[in-house]
Amino acid sequence: MNGNTSISGRRLALLHGLTAIVSIVVAAAACAGGISATALDKDGAKMADVVIYATPVGDIPMPAAGALETVTIAQDHLQFTPYVTAIRTGTAIKFPNYDKIEHHVKSFSSAKEFEIKVYEKGTPPPVVFDKPGVVIVYCMLHGWMRAYVMVLDTPYFAKTEASGAVMLDKLKEGTYEIKAWHPDMGMIKPALTQTVKVGPGGMQPITFNFDFVAKKRKPSKPAAGEKHH
């Protein structure tokens, strides 16, 4: 009887070990889900400056906002850089002026109205974006200067660069509404939307086909003859 007990004890230990390994593998797979999204314009070309974000449908809990980061939109060579910024609600943005001339930063957007009056070099206090929505940032002195801030209530977002592609990983298994927005849509056109089921592992590819070609941005230096400070 003793021998039997000992064998089943060993079996049990082995079983526990296996169960532990299986649990670890399953846990790893459950964490690895996500979406790999590509933005294409009307001509099928890859699109930069597209904000792609995922909102869970139903009861998938979202991670806590965590510590607030501060991001930067610089005034540099008579342009705002970056042109498009995506942030989570509550994030602060610094607007330093790296130019030798003055700028007058202003937003009329309902998601965040603010004004940084004409000033010389330096960085004024950061602006906290506390409501979701699109914020258009203008310079009152240079009509071509414009920046877009997409303030989002979800932590799952990314902005495309020249490759037109982003990955939204760390998505828990479940259903998500994936939206894609480009500044040329402004506040008028709704973001493109797809509903996607994220499985327990792997990156699910999706494509957003926009029905326009992005307008060319004005060059950072105004054309000869154009008036500026």
| Least distance (Å) between residue 138 CB and Cu ion | 9
> SS3 for 123?
coil
- Report, in Å, the least distance between residue 158 CB and Cu ion: 28
**Which range, of 28-36, 82-90, 101-109, 200-208, touches Cu ion by CB under 5 A?**
101-109
Task: Please pick, from the candidates 88, 112, 142, 159, the single residue that binds Cu ion as defined by CB under 5 A.
Answer: 142
Cis peptide before 183 (omega within 30 of 0): no
- One residue of 53, 88, 103, 168 binding Cu ion per CB under 5 A: 103
- Cβ proximity to Cu ion: between 54 and 139 the closer is 139
β strands within the chain, DSSP E: 34-40, 51-56, 70-72, 74-76, 79-81, 84-88, 91-94, 103-107, 114-119, 127-129, 133-139, 146-152, 157-159, 165-168, 174-181, 192-198, 203-209
- Is 141 a binder of Cu ion (CB under 5 A)? yes
Output the smallest distance, CB 113 to Cu ion, in A.
Answer: 18
Q: Does 182 bind Cu ion (CB under 5 A)?
A: no
Here's the x/- map for Cu ion, 52-91, by CB under 5 A: it reads as ----------------------------------------
Least Å from the CB of residue 182 to Cu ion: 23
Least distance between Cu ion and beta carbon 224 (Å): 18
The residues that touch Cu ion, with contacts defined as CB under 5 A, are 103, 139, 141-142, 145
